[in-house]
Structure 1
């Protein structure tokens, strides 16, 4: 800090953390504020964050500006505030905010490969690795019934096949109301983009519309999802598909994400001592049950989410 702000006496304010090992502080120097991100090198690699921040900003997306960095895992970022979209959403504000979030999502999904950083694929192995978190963490700690690995393996294979049928776009991978900031001018900024991959076109859409932290009526969710497809499908270089196909992709992609989230939230509780994440399990299980009832080919999952 003395190198960046010589002869100054900055003040620090600890900010709320997230599900990662990162920590954040707000730094104030006179009337200017910044955010410091501390990513322990043995836990977090800051290279993807820096690379994706530059890449997304280069394509006009509102993300924090990386002003300086240190090999020990510290980054100095522009301060975009701390008003999460989650806290601003109500039935009356949701249409406007989701219009903005979906517009920014289309812009993000359409980004090309980064010139100096290889964005990994959301391939079969990565999708399966995520699904296995449900078996490794949720089933032994939180499920109320014994697992049948062979049945689950067959269901996981079917889910992955459907996910990989979809067009490939740039995927944020955690695009939801706690990773979107409301700026003073009521526009949105995007956080937590370091895990971006190239993968299924409905992944970020389902992360946003079937959010683990807030939910909306299924009819409204499906209408938002189909409207997004009608507006942007051609931009993905894909042949048009009908509503039922798109929503089938969307629902099954949500099944993959929410089964993963069962495992992640359980792991955050039992390994990382963050028990409040278990409070989100009922909503996540409700999403899974709804999909299994809409698409009975997945009904064997139901006993695990009762």
Structure 2
């Protein structure tokens, strides 16, 4: 992998730069992509001495999403396509300095080490102000991308349709229940659970739809120069307007107090109204949609954490399983889904834990 990076550096700059650069493997979190920090022997793009290398798997298929669903046929990587679109809108995304598809290496602007998660952990007593910043960025994103389906961004060509939303819920059934606890866990409740899943999906499809980043959470927001930046946007697609808000406020890595979450949802409504986001005119709709989407998103996340452990051999996400189920329990208490809550209390051991 290191040799591929140095080859790309020689193509982007020259052989001398490639040989003198130092490389640091930063891993890939839950992704198949591996990131390396490159330190150059002299200043590079933007006068900075560091770059990031995104290294793709050798068998990488740009038509497949790691999170499920198919990408439209395109001559370029979804990451490149969406980055160009967001940058054109003036949204804060890191620059792409060089794309070497032959070797599967992209050279990117180094956005540093400060994730939104670090900002929160360094000053948790200021959580509300921190999250208001992130909500402001989300509202700016939604305003900028509203009704822009005439552009060349592939995100507008795919959507959280019925099949994908159900796939995510089935991901929980398959991995969170069947593989995690045993194939007989559901017993006679299998058809009943599927019926509840269909009800959730039908309600989500009835919501206003907009472009969503799909994983707008504390480890996918970086701060550089005092400004928040978007990363990990290659899976952007059309979906329920509240999806990214749920990803942010019901993050698997940071557990927020429910009362704070409620205040932040209200803040989103106010910020959206100030920017004329149409769905924010109905605060009751936003609140109901938030908790409904929480059920769908966090069940998917729970199943994903088991999948990553059993299939990818990475157990690092297992501690987030129970908090995800806790989010589902809290959301169901606020919705008219007492039947689903009762079912999960019978088949999901984590559902009864505080």
| TM-score for both structures, normalised by structure 2 | 0.81
Partner residue, 1:240: 281
1:15-67 CA-partner distances (Å, limit 9, x unpaired): 13221111010111124110000112523527110011111111111112111
Alignment check: 8 A CA contact 1:131 1:259 kept: yes
**Counterpart selection for 1:106 from 119, 125, 139:** 139
When residues 264 and 43 of structure 1 are mapped into structure 2, their CA distance, relative to the original with a 3 A threshold, is farther
Between the aligned partners of 2:117 and 2:150, the Cα distance in structure 1 is: 30
Partner residue, 2:38: 27
1:250 paired to 2:258: no
Between the aligned partners of 2:313 and 2:115, the Cα distance in structure 1 is: 24
Mapping for residues 1-306 of structure 1, pairs under 5 Å:
1-6=9-14, 7-8=16-17, 9-30=20-41, 31=43, 32-45=49-62, 47-71=77-101, 72-89=103-120, 90-110=123-143, 111=145, 112-113=148-149, 115-119=151-155, 120-143=158-181, 146-147=185-186, 148-183=189-224, 185-233=225-273, 235-238=276-279, 240-243=281-284, 245-297=285-337, 298-299=340-341, 300-303=343-346, 304=348, 305-306=351-352
1:266-305 CA-partner distances (Å, limit 9, x unpaired): 1000000111111111210110111222325231233323
Larger radius of gyration: 2
Give the C-alpha shift of residue 10 in structure 1.
1.1
1:158-212 CA-partner distances (Å, limit 9, x unpaired): 11122122211110000000101122x3221111110101111110001101111
Stretches of structure 2 lacking an aligned partner (at least 5 in a row): 1-8, 44-48, 63-75
- Identify the structure with the greater helix proportion: 2
Give the C-alpha shift of residue 138 in structure 1.
1.2
Alignment check: 8 A CA contact 1:22 1:44 kept: no
Alignment check: 8 A CA contact 2:169 2:197 kept: yes
Between the aligned partners of 2:336 and 2:181, the Cα distance in structure 1 is: 21
Alignment check: 8 A CA contact 2:279 2:286 kept: no
Matched position secondary structure for 2:12:
coil
Give the C-alpha shift of residue 118 in structure 1.
2.5
Matched position secondary structure for 1:221:
helix
When residues 38 and 220 of structure 1 are mapped into structure 2, their CA distance, relative to the original with a 3 A threshold, is same
Between the aligned partners of 1:122 and 1:14, the Cα distance in structure 2 is: 34
- How many residues align? The count is 304
Stretches of structure 1 lacking an aligned partner (at least 5 in a row): none
Between the aligned partners of 1:269 and 1:113, the Cα distance in structure 2 is: 37
When residues 152 and 4 of structure 1 are mapped into structure 2, their CA distance, relative to the original with a 3 A threshold, is same
Matched position secondary structure for 1:54:
helix
Alignment check: 8 A CA contact 1:163 1:249 kept: yes
Alignment check: 8 A CA contact 2:291 2:332 kept: no
Matched position secondary structure for 1:69:
strand
Between the aligned partners of 2:316 and 2:29, the Cα distance in structure 1 is: 12
CA RMSD of aligned residues (A): 1.9
Between the aligned partners of 1:105 and 1:164, the Cα distance in structure 2 is: 21
Partner residue, 2:68: none
Q: Which region of structure 1 is more displaced relative to structure 2, 143-152 or 192-201? A: 143-152
